[in-house]
Structures are given as C-alpha cells and as structure tokens.
Amino acid sequence: MKKSFGIIGSGNIGQTVARHLVKGGYAVIMSNGRGPDAVKEIVKSIGGGATAGSVKDAANADVVLLSLPWSQVSSLTAVADWKNKIVIDATNHFITYAPDFQVADLQGKSSSQVVAEQLPGARIVKAFNTLYFKTLAQNPNQSGGKRVLFISGDDASAKSEVGEVIKALGFAVVDLGDLSNGSKLQQAKGPLATLNLIQL
C-alpha cells in the first residue's frame, strides 16, 4: 500500500506538492493552523485522495511535509512523537518577505538542522523548497527531459524513500548529501535556490 502524506501548511507550496502526490495516487491529509474546517475548500479543489485534518492528524501520517513558515516549525515539537518519522522539509528560513527577503541567522547550521532540533528523532529530508510554487506546479516533463528536484538528509533510507516518491511523481532527483552541507546548497540564498533545471 502506498504511504500516506500529512501536509502541515496548506498554502502555496503545500497545495502544489499535494496536487502532485494525489496525481501520483497518494493519500494526503491537508492541515493548517486553523483546523480541518479551514482546509475543506482546499481539499475539495485538490480532489482525489485528499482529506482535511488537524495538524496532529497530518503529523501522524506515514510521511509529513512541512510547508508552513519556517518560524512556525517550533510550534510542532509537542504535536507528535517525531522519532523515526520521515519529515520532508520544504521550508525556507525567511524572517521577512518581499521586497527584502531576509533570512534568519542560523549560527553556521543549515535551516534543516534547526528544523531537526525542533522535531526530535525525525528523519528529515530537505526537498521541494527551491522552486517558486508556480514553477513546481507545472508538468515535470519538460523539453524532452525532467525537472530536477534536490534532496538532502542525514538518514540514507529516508532520503532514498523520499527520492523514489519524487521520481514516481515524474521529477529527476539530485542528491546533495547531508543536512549540514547539502541542505546549505539548496536552502534560501544557497547557490542552488531558485535554479530551475531540466535533466535531459
């Protein structure tokens, strides 16, 4: 049976990834900060295998996608037992948005390492954070090739599992390594952030 995905944050990026997952035949539980009723219309528009849930419901799915503001991840610490849970971190560590897009001072860590500290025991895989959501929403098959998504993480099996799902959605996957080095390449202001690549 295919794994279920809990989406925490049902805005631009959460909905975009959810649509790809539903198209790929996965069940998704959509949640936001205001409870299941507030995501009902979103769920209806996604259709297929999407259902509305609380943040706790989403956190209890097989795989969790973090698609909420980075500054809000700390609110999730006590929501679930994160030990061994595969968590895809699609957040970027912005503390202000347009026009200045300032990022948090991470004291030398990657933004996903800070996320990992906030979700003790979670197997974090950074993915889906580099592309503008309208670009990510497009068909990954482009110009005879596949749109590239980057992944990084410290847990090899979690990274491999997430990589296989992303490939099944039609993307090409480039593994950047661990959370310390790889995530810094793909996180906001890193050299690979916003790069829209097609693997031919």
Ligand X SMILES: NC(=O)c1ccc[n+]([C@@H]2O[C@H](COP(=O)([O-])OP(=O)(O)OC[C@H]3O[C@@H](n4cnc5c(N)ncnc54)[C@H](OP(=O)(O)O)[C@@H]3O)[C@@H](O)[C@H]2O)c1
Binding site for ligand X (CB under 6 A): 8-14, 32-34, 38, 55, 67-70, 72, 75, 90-92, 94, 129, 132-133
Q: Which is closer to ligand X, CB of 96 or CB of 157? A: 96
Q: Kind of pairing, strands 198-199 and 145-153?
A: antiparallel
**Least distance to ligand X, CB of residue 58, Å:** 8
C-beta closer to ligand X: residue 38 or 192: 38
Nearer to ligand X, 139 or 144 (CB): 139
Q: For the stretch 153-164, what's the b/e string if a residue is b when 16 or more beta carbons lie within 10 angstroms of its beta carbon?
A: bbbeebbebbbe
Least Cβ distance, residue 144 to ligand X (angstroms):
25
Give the shortest CB-1-to-ligand X separation in angstroms: 27
Residue carrying the six token digits 């952030």: 193
Contacting residues for 69 by C-beta, under 8 A, at least 6 apart: 9, 91, 94
Closest residue to bound ligand X by CB: 11
| CB closer to ligand X, 8 vs 151 | 8
Nearer to ligand X, 8 or 27 (CB): 8
